[in-house]
Amino acid sequence: MLRTFRLFLIASFVAATFGVPATPAGAAGDTILFGSSVSLTGSLAKEGKLTQEGYDFWKDYINQHGGLKVGGKSYKVDIKYYDDESKPASAQQLAERLIDQDHVNFILGPYGSGTAFTVAQMVERKKMPMVEGNGAAEKIFSQGFRYTFGVLSPAKKYLQGVLDMAAKRKPRPVTVAISAASDAFSLEVQQGVVDYAQTLGFKVVYSNKYPDTTTDVSSVVSAIKATNPDIILNAGHLQDALLIHKGLKEQNVQAKIYAYSVGPDTPDFVNSLGKDANFVYGGAQWSEAVKYQGQAGFYKSAMDYANAFDAVYHHRPDYHNAESTAACLAFQYALQKAGTLDSEKVRDALQSLDIVTFYGIIKFDSRGLNVFKPMVVNQIQHGKLVTVWPEFTANGKPMYPAPPWAQR
């Protein structure tokens, strides 16, 4: 027993330190292999799943339509996934694994700003192009990284559209309250609101942050109520948006506009709150209502994309789905333009990309950030998501102001 066990231990040490690990064949022959670590378990499991759906939807489309033509040769595409358990440290290690062990050709981003940041640092060292659609913090793009590209509009813009829309309402709202979860993304959203509100002539009467693991926001709500604002904004995540919205009703806080950076666009928000969800606005990277005419090679309009997506996954795509698919599209058109799988040339092609898709414009500034695409504002009306801003793309008018709680 004892001897066998000791031998086993020695053998496993030797195997661990010297053994050559079995290396799966990576981008063999006629397949382009993408790799991504997404959060399939842990606190971001929902968002991670939406990301994965967005990627998979693109992959299936390409493979069903004869593959991807690069430099005259047609390739199948495949995506290798790992679960980062919603932990940034884990995401970095898994991305390293995708590159060194699985020999993926390119990296598709993980979900979340913190996670995207750690992976961005790693791909930079490896000179491996990554396009991500789920990390909007500008911090990622202010480090001079050359290999990371983000298809989404920066965090600061998330709620600025709501303010633009508010400025055009009659009677014009005057005061703004904003609370933010203490994480990099939400704090940037908050900063964006505070700066922009002043330029539009709003008065910020409350601006504060709360711990991102909070379980009780009633005191935040009380403090907001004490300032009696016209516009109540929150920069945070789905869970916080639900907590705060419930809290606002419980304490009977009446404002003209309620808007959340993340939350109202996921179906979970309406499912959880029922009719209390009505009249709530949300900043969104994309909605079904956007009216772009995309170029050939994929679904051209948002509506076509949404309908096809619904047929496969049995729910309407939200902007997390769409921005993930858009990250794939950036690769698709950059690869076709580069005509090669060479990572340096693909990087250059990404840098000079300038396309219009169902998702909107995809074009990167020198930092790798897609600042050219406007964000939209959605409002929940009668339990449905309606795009109300900007006016040229809207499919409905804002219902303003929000009526008293009892009448919703």
Partner 1 sequence: MQLFFQDLVNGILAGGILAVVALGFSLVWGIMNIINLAHGAFIMLGAYIAWQLFTSLHVDPFLSVPVAFVIMFGFGYLLQRGLINRVVRAPVLATFLLTFGLSLLIQNLALMVWTSDTRAVTPVYSGANFDIHGVTIPWAKVATLAAALLITLVMYLWLQRSKMGRAIRATAMDVGAAQMVGVRVAHIYGVTFGIGAALAGAAGALLSLSYSLNPSMGEPFLIRGFVVCVLGGLGSVEGALIGGLAYGIVASFASNIDFTLYGQHVSGTGLQDVVALLVLLAVLIVRPTGLAGRATA
Partner 2 sequence: MGGITGNRYAIGLVLFAMVALLGVPALHNDYITLTFRNILMFAAMSYGWNMIGGYTGYVSFGNVVFFGMGAYCSAALSGHGIDNLVAAVPLAMLVCASFAVVVGIPVLRLRGHYFGIATLGVSLAVADLVNNLDVLGGSSGLVLKQADQAHFWIYYYAMWLVAIGCILGTYAIARSKLGYAFVAIRENEDAAQVLGISPTRYKVTAWALGAMMAGAAGAVYAPANGFIDPSITFAIDNNVFPIVMAILGGMGTVAGPFIGALLLAGINEFLQQKFLQAHTIFFGATIVLVVVFLPRGLMYLVGLRGGVRRWFADLRVFRV
Q: Name which of residues 197 to 216 contact partner 1 (CB under 8 A).
A: 208-211, 213-216
Q: Are 147 and 130 in contact (CB under 8 A)?
A: yes
**Are 261 and 191 within 8 A, CB to CB?**
no
Q: Site for partner 2 (CB under 8 A): which residue of 11, 30, 41, 250?
A: 41
Write out the two tokens for 135. 């990390």
Contact with partner 2 (CB under 8 A) among 121, 301, 340, 343: 121
Beta bridge partners of 284: 376
- Does position 214 interact with partner 2 (CB under 8 A)? The reply is no
CB 358 within 8 A of CB 302: yes
Of 113-121, 225-233, 301-309, 346-354: span binding partner 2 (CB under 8 A):
113-121
Q: Evaluate the omega torsion of the peptide bond into residue 264 and state whether it is cis, within 30 degrees of 0.
A: no
Angle, to 10 degrees, between the axis of helix 113-126 and the axis of helix 88-100?
30
Regarding 219 and contact with partner 1 (CB under 8 A), the answer is: yes
Span interacting with partner 2, options 178-186, 259-267, 350-358, 387-395, rule CB under 8 A: 178-186
β-bridge partners, 374: none
Given 174, 187, 205, 399, the residue binding partner 2 (CB under 8 A): 187
CB under 5 to 8 A by kind: which of partner 1, partner 2, none does 99 bind? partner 2
Q: Which is nearer to partner 1, 74 or 222 (CB)?
A: 222
Binding partner of 21, given partner 2, partner 1, none, CB within 5-8 angstroms per partner class = partner 2
Contact between residue 161 and residue 378 where contact means Cβ atoms under 8 Å apart: no
Separation CA 88–CA 135 (nearest Å): 12
Interface with partner 1 (CB under 8 A), residue total 41
Contact window for partner 2 (CB under 8 A) among 10-18, 161-169, 256-264, 352-360? 10-18
Q: How far is CA 302 from CA 55, 148, 160, 212, 372, in A?
A: 16, 25, 23, 33, 18
Query: How far apart (Å, rounded) are the C-alpha atoms in residues 62 and 298?
Result: 8
156 in contact with partner 2 (CB under 8 A): no
Q: Say whether residue 172 binds partner 2 (CB under 8 A).
A: no
The item of partner 2, partner 1, none sharing an interface with residue 342, based on CB under 5 to 8 Å by kind, is none
Out of 18, 215, 314, 366, which residue is the one contacting partner 2 (CB under 8 A)?
18
Cis, bond preceding 173 (omega within 30 deg of 0): no
| CA dihedral sign of residues 26, 30, 35, 38 | negative
Pick 47 or 265: Cβ nearer partner 2: 47
Q: Which of 30, 100, 250, 344 binds partner 2 (CB under 8 A)?
A: 100
The token duo for 119 is: 């992976």
Q: Out of 31, 46, 67, 96, which residue is the one contacting partner 2 (CB under 8 A)?
A: 96
Contacting range for partner 1; rule: CB under 8 A; set: 39-47, 60-68, 88-96, 322-330: 39-47
Residue 114 interacting with partner 2 (CB under 8 A): yes
Query: Residue 349 has which token pair?
Result: 């092609």
Instruction: Give the SS3 label for residue 107.
Output: strand
Q: What is the DSSP string of 163-230?
A: HHHHHTSSSPP-EEEEEEESSHHHHHHHHHHHHHHHHTT-EEEEEEEE-TT-S--HHHHHHHHHH--S
**AA letter at 173:** P
Q: Are 182 and 209 in contact (CB under 8 A)?
A: yes
One of 23, 198, 252, 295 touching partner 1 (CB under 8 A): 252
Of residues 44 and 99, the one with the C-beta less far from partner 1: 44
Which of these ranges, 63-71, 168-176, 182-190, 229-237, lies near partner 2 under the rule CB under 8 A?
182-190
CA distance 128 to 92: 13
* Identity of the residue, 152 or 184, whose beta carbon is nearer to partner 2 in the bound complex: 184
Among 55, 58, 81, 364, binds partner 2 (CB under 8 A): 81
The residues with which 232 forms a beta bridge, in sequence order, are 177, 258
Contact indicator for 112, 42 with CB cutoff of 8 Å:
no
Task: List interacting residues with partner 2 (CB under 8 A).
Answer: 1-2, 5-6, 9-10, 13-14, 16-18, 21, 40-41, 81-83, 85, 87-89, 92-94, 96-97, 99-101, 114, 117-118, 121-122, 125-126, 137, 139, 143, 182-184, 187, 211-212
Query: Which residues of this chain interact with partner 1, rule CB under 8 A?
Result: 41-43, 45-46, 48-49, 179, 182, 208-211, 213-216, 218-220, 222-223, 225-226, 238-239, 242-243, 246, 249-252, 266, 268, 271-274, 276, 405
